[in-house]
């Protein structure tokens, strides 16, 4: 068998360097851990209340700030508008939220929790906070604070990159 020349070995190393190793790719790892944490928290409400992760996110946002629009919730949660719309429809059907016409924009409804929705929030929020405490139980307060600062910087950088990307003119086919 013929040994690879130095230049052939170099080309192989470049190709390998360009391969994506998901186990080391931070955006992927953040996505995976986010999904795992969401599923962990979902155990606190899915079986008991029969609500999905998007529905819980809507309830959680309305639990803190009543009178939000579905669009605002979508922006705050980074959920697709179709997911938000479906979650709002299901929660409304089940009478966990109510809609009021927005006096400033007749086309947009303002959402609020009903007493049943408030009861879900007040039951699940402490369980979610307990899960967060358990996740960070073995971390020092300084580590948690540094992680929060790092995450805020990542969020800010992604927002800046997204804004720059949105400012680009669309690609035109030749």
Query: For the chain, what are the domain ranges?
Result: 24-135
pLDDT in tens, 100-159: 887 777 777 899 999 999 999 999 999 999 999 999 999 999 999 999 999 999 999 999
Q: Is the pTM value of this prediction over 0.95?
A: no
* DSSP E strand boundaries for 20-132: 97-102, 105-113
Give me the architecture of the 24-135 domain, per CATH: Orthogonal Bundle (1.10)
Give the C-alpha separation, 154 to 78, whole Å.
15
Q: Cα torsion at 150, 155, 156, 158 (round to 10°)?
A: 120
DSSP code at position 68: B
Q: Is 145 left (phi over 0), alpha (psi -120 to 50) or beta?
A: alpha
pLDDT in tens, 78-114: 899 999 999 999 999 999 999 988 777 777 789 999 9
Instruction: Taking the CA atoms of 50, 100, 80 and 35 in sequence, report the sign of the dihedral they define.
Output: negative
Give the C-alpha separation, 134 to 174, whole Å.
55
């Amino acid at each position: 068998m013929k040994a690879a020349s130095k230049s052939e070995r170099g080309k192989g190393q470049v190709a390998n360097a360009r391969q994506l190793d998901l186990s080391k790719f931070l955006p992927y790892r953040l996505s995976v851990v986010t999904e795992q944490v969401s599923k962990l928290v979902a155990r606190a409400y899915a079986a008991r209340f029969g609500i999905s992760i998007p529905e819980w996110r809507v309830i959680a946002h309305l639990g803190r700030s009543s009178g939000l629009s579905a669009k605002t919730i979508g922006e705050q949660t980074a959920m697709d508008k179709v997911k938000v719309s479906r979650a709002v429809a299901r929660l409304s059907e089940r009478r966990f939220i109510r809609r009021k016409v927005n006096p400033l924009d007749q086309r947009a409804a303002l959402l609020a929790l009903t007493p049943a929705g408030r009861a879900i929030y007040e039951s699940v929020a402490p369980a979610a906070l307990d899960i967060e405490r358990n996740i960070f139980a073995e971390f020092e307060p300084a580590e948690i604070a540094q992680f929060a600062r790092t995450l805020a910087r990542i969020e800010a950088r992604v927002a800046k990159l997204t804004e720059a990307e949105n400012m680009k003119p669309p690609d035109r086919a030749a």
